[in-house]
Amino acid sequence: MTTVACASNWQGWLVPPGLLLAAELAMRVTGIQSDSLALPSRILLAGGAAVADGSLLRATLQTLTSAVGGVLIGGGIGMLLGFWLGLSSTAARLAEVSVELFRPIPPVALIPIAMLVFGFGYRMELSLVAFTCFWPMLLFTHAAVRVVDRQLIEVARILGLSGPATVWKIVLPAALPRIVVALRLSLGIALIVAVTTEIAANPQGLGYAMMRSQQELQAATMYAFVLWLAVLGWAMNSGLQRLQRRLFAGSQAVAQ
């Protein structure tokens, strides 16, 4: 089910509030008390307090800066190399082993190396997000370029178009719908890696805010940040999917 389809399913939007209401009633009736749980009403109040004191906005901007920056850097490099590998079978053959060797490395496993090279802070997190986003953009762009009709490229050569002109006028428009799919995927992955890095090693952003709330036994605030992450991830994916549908209506890649 696509995000846009979910957005138009108003019955489905009744389920999350219903679950929160059921949890509220169950906890009040049973009298459950725990440092690891919080009433949904208190979670909402804690979220409102985080908005009021600016901590939610500040942490969100820190996380989004790393996530979007990583997509731009890693995704940009991956897209350029993807075009090169898609247009050159020789380059693709030479790079195949290296891609399959390094692509499966979990970004979390690189945290110690990133800390040694960049230390704590924004640059360390940015490097991990960029590394992670590099691979989907590389693979999706490579695949998108490979399926471009070769007859179109031959026509461009017959017409005397240069290599860069062929890429700009023929290859890029044909591959762009699938590249936008890769961008959507990369942005979701970037948010996950950014928050994970903040939880594990970087004292800033939404991940660190969640960890700090957990350590201070502020369960309501912690869950408020978790709910906000869910809303943020949905909003980012929904926005990109709507843009994709508007720009590439009728493309098969839009349905992905």
Give the pLDDT confidence of 12-38 residue by residue, as tens digits. 788 888 888 888 888 888 877 777 888
Sign of CA dihedral 65, 70, 75, 80: positive
Mean pLDDT of 124-139: 95
Q: What pLDDT shows up at residue 186?
A: 93
Quick one: how far is CA 37 from the chain centroid? 28
Whole-number pLDDT of residue 39: 87
Mean pLDDT of the chain: 87
Segment 187-217, tens digit of pLDDT: 999 999 999 999 988 889 999 999 999 999 8
Residue 7 confidence (pLDDT): 52
pLDDT for the residue numbered 170: 84
| Phi, psi (rounded to 5 degrees) for 35 | -70, -15
Domains of the chain (ranges, CATH numbers): 58-255 (1.10.3720.10)
The answer to whether residue 1 scores a pLDDT higher than 60 is no
What's the rounded Cα separation, in Å, for the pair 92 and 180?
22
Instruction: State both tokens at 98.
Output: 């290296």
The whole-number pLDDT of residue 140 equals 94
Chain center to CA of 23: 30
